Amino acid sequence: MATAVSAEEMRPLGSSEDVVVVRQVVRALAVKLGFSLVDQTKMVTAASELARNTVDYGGGGTVRLQTITDGKRIGLRLTFEDKGPGIEDLALALKDGYTSGGGLGLGLGGAKRLSNEFEIVSRPGEGTRVSIARWR
C-alpha cells in the first residue's frame, strides 16, 4: 500500500533557536503519535543533527514535518531542504568521522542509522534535501 500523508507542517530553519524549536516540535509529534521513548529520542536526535546541518552548512532552509500512514502503521517523516552549496561527495559525507566543519562527523550517517527510511539528494551549487522517516 502507498504511503499517505495525514498532516503536514513547514518550519523555517535559519538559526540555532529554530533548531531548538524543531527539536521540541518533533518530540511533541512523536509523543502524540505514540512513539516509544527510544524512538522519540532517535527522531529528535536525527532531527537535531539535520536541522543543524541545514543551518550551518546549507545557510538555512526549511523542514517539512509529515504524519504518514501506510494502512497498517503510522509514522513521522521529516524533510530538510536548503539552497546552499550542496555536497560534492555524498558517499564520503555519509562516512562516520567525515566532517567539513568542526563536528564529530556523525551527522548524516548517524541520522541514517536512527531512521527507518533515509534519502538524500544534493547537487553542488543547488542545495541539499534530506528526508528521514520512522515508523511506530
pLDDT in tens, 50-107: 999 999 999 999 999 999 999 899 999 999 999 999 998 888 888 776 666 555 445 7
Q: Is the dihedral of CA 94, 95, 101, 104 positive or negative?
A: positive
How many residues are given for the chain?
136
SS3 105: coil
What is the fold of 4-135?
Heat Shock Protein 90 (3.30.565)
pTM of the model: 0.91
Domains of the chain, residue spans? 4-135
Q: State the average pLDDT over residues 34-53.
A: 96
d(CA 133, CA 35): 13
Enter the C-alpha cell of residue 106.
Answer: 556523525
